[in-house]
């Protein structure tokens, strides 16, 4: 997400395989979830390949199938500039979102044309972001930052605001929000004085849904009316000096992290300009997001019937101060199709179902099933620097949870974007030894089998592209 342009020329090369032939005629879907399709297309695997020293080359590989064999990047694929997130937008565009610490970055898109992958002409200069989603033809990225200087208080403190970039992928145009507009203000968003960030952006029934993540009191919020938003017994949590680093950095006068970890909020906006905001709340779960460094991973997803499921891993259990730790177990709640509030009759305790293991990400994989990226331990033993290394399958309507078997015992990490079709999920898996591979997960049994192996150091995602 960052400032450096990634416009170096890419080397032309042959694709690894011809276009796949499959069944079905599903319409493309622009939601940046796990692709769940049955149609013609070509598998694409963004991979990292070790170079000299600590350098790495990045290559987009194509494959006719994922069931077995070996792919080599030698004299194959398309070199590109890498990415942190990979979004198969409308099943026609592969978007590579960059993540370069707190800076901005260039997002690229790639298409399949005449049997070959092509880099498109336009690169998007995206502002720093911590989450993303889509609205019609636009890929949206969001973070929380400082308001313009004219909004400073008497101390010079700036209120927080949402910083939004809108990338029209088919048209290759971009724009940023006007952070002076009041609907983008993230200070006192929930009425308790705290500023917030967002996790996931989901277009649903003509509205924009997002999970609200309370972040604590900024310098601006902490100083309002002599500290009226500081809860009794929490004053010692206000920072007395600058400190921390990267995503955990703080400033003097802030009260870092929320004072209200035992509640979950959703924001429902009338449109992607954040107008007409409605807030809904439940105290059955803590806030709904997974974490890795400064990223807030989406935990709100529709199933195939249009019901919205909201997952909380209870990340607040990682907080160092007990007052900021949630007492709630990881869980899931629901907003039924056609409704705009939480279903009072739906809840499952995911902490019990997973055997106490925390989870980092969830993805819809067809029907009412969701793929879980699990850790091998509980959140009280983790931080936002850890990566998931296990898998599980959750059936939302019945509450059935199946731990995936058949994965290697030395898994280091899982690809940022799995793919699903016909009752199977395909997940990139990196291990401590040997080449990474795509594993095929039977979503009914939870059994994983090793598929195609790639001569690379890391497989970042897998998906299918339709030809333009």
Query: Rounded CA gap, 331 and 343, in Å?
Result: 14
Give the phi and the psi of residue 99 in degrees, each rounded to 5: -140, 100
- Count Cβ atoms within 10 A of the Cβ of residue 399 and give its class: 0-12 exposed, 13-18 middle, 19 or more buried: middle
Query: Rounded CA gap, 47 and 71, in Å?
Result: 11
DSSP-assigned letter for residue 238: B
Q: Each residue's pLDDT tens digit in the chain (468 positions)?
A: 322 222 233 333 333 333 333 333 333 344 455 554 445 689 999 999 987 667 789 999 999 999 999 999 987 889 998 888 999 999 999 999 986 555 666 889 999 998 899 999 999 988 889 999 999 999 999 999 999 999 999 999 999 999 999 999 999 999 999 999 999 999 999 999 999 999 999 999 999 999 999 999 999 999 999 999 999 999 999 999 999 988 789 999 999 999 999 999 999 999 999 999 999 999 999 999 999 988 999 999 999 999 999 999 999 999 999 999 999 999 999 999 999 999 999 999 999 999 999 999 999 999 999 999 999 999 888 877 889 999 999 999 999 999 999 999 999 999 999 999 999 999 999 999 999 999 999 999 999 999 999 999 999 999 999 999
Torsion of CA 83, 310, 174, 168, to 10 degrees: 90
State residue 32's pLDDT score: 53
Query: Rounded CA gap, 339 and 266, in Å?
Result: 13
Q: Which CATH superfamily is domain 42-465 in?
A: Prolyl oligopeptidase, N-terminal domain (2.130.10.120)
State residue 229's pLDDT score: 99
Could you state, in order of their start, the residue ranges of all structural domains in the chain?
42-465
Torsion of CA 449, 430, 3, 218, to 10 degrees: 90
State residue 4's pLDDT score: 26
Query: Rounded CA gap, 324 and 239, in Å?
Result: 15
Query: Rounded CA gap, 412 and 184, in Å?
Result: 38
Q: Is 281 left (phi over 0), alpha (psi -120 to 50) or beta?
A: beta
CB atoms within 10 A of CB 410: 11
Query: Rounded CA gap, 126 and 3, in Å?
Result: 8
The β-bridge relationship of strands 138-146 and 160-168 is antiparallel
């Amino acid at each position: 997400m960052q400032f450096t342009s990634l416009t170096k020329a890419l080397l032309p090369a042959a694709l690894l395989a011809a276009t796949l032939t499959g069944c079905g005629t599903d319409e493309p879907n622009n939601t940046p979830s796990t692709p769940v399709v049955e149609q013609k297309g070509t598998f694409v695997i963004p991979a990292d390949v070790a170079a000299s020293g600590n350098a790495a080359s990045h290559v987009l590989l194509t494959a006719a199938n994922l069931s077995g064999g070996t792919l080599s990047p030698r004299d194959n694929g398309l070199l590109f500039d890498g990415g942190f997130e990979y979004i198969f937008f409308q099943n026609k565009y592969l978007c590579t979102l960059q993540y370069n610490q707190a800076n901005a970055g260039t997002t690229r898109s790639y298409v399949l044309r005449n049997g070959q992958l092509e880099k498109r002409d336009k690169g998007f200069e995206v502002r720093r972001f911590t989450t993303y989603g889509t609205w019609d033809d636009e890929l949206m990225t969001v973070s929380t930052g400082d308001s313009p200087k004219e909004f400073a208080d008497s101390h010079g403190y700036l209120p927080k605001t949402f910083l939004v970039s809108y990338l029209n992928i088919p048209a290759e145009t971009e724009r940023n929000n006007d952070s002076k507009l009041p609907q983008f203000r993230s200070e006192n968003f929930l009425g308790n004085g705290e500023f917030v960030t967002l996790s996931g952006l989901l277009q649903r029934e003509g509205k924009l849904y997002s999970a609200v993540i309370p972040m604590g009191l900024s310098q601006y919020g902490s100083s309002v009316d002599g500290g009226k938003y500081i809860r009794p017994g929490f004053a010692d949590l206000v920072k007395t000096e600058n400190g921390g680093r990267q995503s955990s950095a703080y400033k003097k006068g802030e009260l870092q992290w929320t004072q209200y970890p035992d509640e979950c909020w959703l924001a429902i906006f009338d449109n992607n300009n954040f107008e007409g905001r409605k807030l809904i709340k439940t105290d059955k779960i803590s806030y709904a997001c997974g974490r890795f460094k400064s990223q807030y991973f989406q935990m709100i997803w529709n199933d195939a019937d249009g019901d919205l499921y909201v997952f909380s891993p209870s990340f607040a259990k990682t907080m160092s101060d007990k007052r900021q730790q949630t007492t709630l177990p990881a869980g899931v709640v629901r907003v039924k199709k056609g409704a705009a509030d939480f279903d009072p009759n739906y809840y499952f305790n995911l902490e019990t179902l997973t055997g106490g293991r925390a989870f980092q990400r969830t993805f819809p994989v067809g029907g009412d099933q969701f793929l879980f990226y699990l850790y091998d331990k509980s959140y009280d033993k983790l931080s936002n620097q850890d990566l998931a290394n296990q898998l599980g399958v959750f059936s939302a309507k019945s509450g059935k949870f199946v731990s995936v078997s058949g994965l290697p015992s030395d898994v280091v990490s899982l690809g940022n974007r799995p793919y699903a079709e016909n009752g199977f999920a395909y997940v990139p898996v990196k291990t401590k030894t040997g080449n990474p591979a795509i594993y095929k997960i039977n979503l009914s049994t939870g059994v994983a089998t090793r598929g195609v192996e790639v001569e690379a150091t890391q497989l970042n995602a897998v998906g299918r592209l339709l030809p333009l």
